[in-house]
Amino acid sequence: MRVAIIGTGYVGLVSGACFAEFGFDVTCVDKDKGKIDRLLQGEMPIYEPGLDTLVAGNVKAGRLSFGTELKPAVAAADAVFIAVGTPSRRGDGHADLSYVYAAAKEIAEAMDGYTVVVTKSTVPVGTGREVERIIRETRPDADFDVASNPEFLREGAAIGDFMRPDRVVIGAESPRAQAVMRELYRPLFLIETPIVMTSLETSEMIKYAANTFLATKITFINEIADLCEKLGADVHDVAKGIGLDGRIGRKFLHPGPGYGGSCFPKDTLALVRTAQEAGSPLRIVETVVDINDRRKRQMADKIVAFMDGSVAGKTIAVLGVTFKPNTDDMRDAPSLVILPALIAAGATVRAYDPVGMEEAARHIEGVAWCEGAYEAMDGADAAVVLTEWNEFRGLSVERMKQSLARPVMIDLRNIYEPKDMAEAGFRYTCVGRPT
Ligand code: UGA
């Protein structure tokens, strides 16, 4: 089985490396020559744990190659994955599909023999059908099927998610396409991974429904956390108490400063727009989008309020700026709203993040970037935890206290125990827990 992956971004690269690891012959194609050159030298364009080793191993074994030429890769392939970007279009929140459609046209021109063209990028319902139309229009004689195969990879855990998924969703309608897609995921049969085989439209809808449901779950617990704070309840125990009910489930009930990243904000907004246009609005998701947007600003207010109502002339140490740990991704990170708000309110911000600072510095101005957590805290009036990197969990409370000018901690990811912090003499607040 030969596979071509068009677009060597996050999804394309991880999927390509994992399919190669399954034993298939994979070519990853990207128009960005600089990116391909770096990949050929073993340099990863993104930070993803384990990816460099996986890529190196499969390149060495001759199963994974990179190139800028789409034509030969597609001509040789049994399955071609479209994994190009689908950014939010400015103004209307819809996904911009111009890259997907351009890829479909190029693929049509290059196809040779029966080919399954698979959309891997998150695309609005109906995109697969349009890709089908474009290919047929470009090459009326072509022997092909279009399939949808959404990914459910979390950044920072993508390889494990690909290799041990809860399920694989495939939108494929002809028996030939279904057979090719099943063959691609055959290595997962051994671990009895369920395969959900559906129509194109249903498969596309599953991806959006999954992401909007998870975003809703997070937003639900965030609001419950705020209420817990007012009423003296502990949101961690509430999350456990409800999550043990199998119908609810324990995951994605951790409160924080609001969801971010390249997927939830973009996908919730896109589905809201699609639903409005279809005349079947998703009012719950509309509210989720609104609450999450406001939440980031509210977190800046929470910090200011805890620092006696003003941060003017004060120094704040920020621990973590990426939208979550184990990634250098800054897209829609709460820090992008919170840090500028603190700076605008007159604070000096000293920040540290294990891998995200280079990227963050491109987006946030006026921050003093530090080499480590203790350095960021040196002489600061308060510390704020924005991302729950593991290395922050094990910081010595005593040393933090020595570094800070004042033992004040605003923990927006609930990584410390309120009791321990109080015992150590900290003025401590977190999200939804009594302190
Ligand atoms: C998400 C989904 O989890 C993946 O299944 C999906 O494939 C991906 O989007 C995508 O559509 O490509 P990702 O954005 O990498 O993956 O990150 P998550 O781990 O889901 O976290 C998203 C955001 O929710 C982060 O800001 C995180 O801090 C926040 N979150 C998550 C919480 O605030 N609380 C939680 O309990 C869980």
CATH number of the domain within which 82 lies: 3.40.50.720
Q: Would you say residue 93 has pLDDT above 80?
A: no
For residues 211 and 101, state if they share a domain: no
Whether 306 has a binding-site annotation, put simply, is no
For residues 227 and 175, state if they share a domain: no
Q: Once rounded to an integer, what is the mean pLDDT over residues 324-345?
A: 96
Distance of CA 430 from the midpoint of ligand 1 (Å): 20
For residues 188 and 135, state if they share a domain: yes
Residue 90's pLDDT is what?
73
Annotated active-site residue in 228, 263, 370, 430? 263
Whether 153 has a binding-site annotation, put simply, is yes
For residues 214 and 106, state if they share a domain: no
List, for residues 239-290, the tens digit of each pLDDT value: 999 999 999 999 999 999 999 998 999 999 999 999 999 999 999 999 999 9
Whether 260 has a binding-site annotation, put simply, is yes
List, for residues 115-152, the tens digit of each pLDDT value: 999 999 889 999 999 999 999 999 999 999 999 999 99
Task: Determine the structural domain holding residue 217 and report its residue range.
Answer: 206-435
For residues 217 and 364, state if they share a domain: yes
List, for residues 203-250, the tens digit of each pLDDT value: 999 999 999 999 999 999 999 999 999 999 999 999 999 999 999 999
Domain boundary among 174, 198, 222: 198
430 is known as an active-site residue: no
For residues 252 and 104, state if they share a domain: no
How many domains are there within the chain? 2
Q: Once rounded to an integer, what is the mean pLDDT over residues 399-427?
A: 97
**Residue of the CA atom closest to atom 2 of ligand 1:** 154
Q: Would you say residue 374 has pLDDT above 80?
A: yes
Domain boundary among 165, 198, 231: 198
Answer whether 172's CB lies under 8 Å from 181's CB: yes
Question: Rounded mean pLDDT of the chain?
Answer: 96
For residues 396 and 280, state if they share a domain: yes
Ligand 1 site, CB within 6 A? 122, 151-155, 211, 214, 218, 252-254, 256, 259-261, 263-264, 323-324
- Mutate which of 155, 207, 259, 336 for ligand 1 pocket (most atoms within 8 A of beta carbon): 259
Residue 47 confidence class, pLDDT cut points 50, 70, 90? confident
**Ligand 1, atom nearest to 257 Cα:** 33
For residues 358 and 434, state if they share a domain: yes
List, for residues 53-64, the tens digit of each pLDDT value: 999 999 999 999
Q: Would you say residue 91 has pLDDT above 80?
A: no
For residues 34 and 166, state if they share a domain: yes
**Residue of the CA atom closest to atom 23 of ligand 1:** 259
Domain boundary among 156, 174, 198: 198
For residues 260 and 377, state if they share a domain: yes
For residues 349 and 393, state if they share a domain: yes
For residues 17 and 158, state if they share a domain: yes
Residue 144's pLDDT is what?
98
Distance of CA 416 from the midpoint of ligand 1 (Å): 21
Q: Would you say residue 88 has pLDDT above 90?
A: no
Distance of CA 138 from the midpoint of ligand 1 (Å): 37
Whether 207 has a binding-site annotation, put simply, is yes
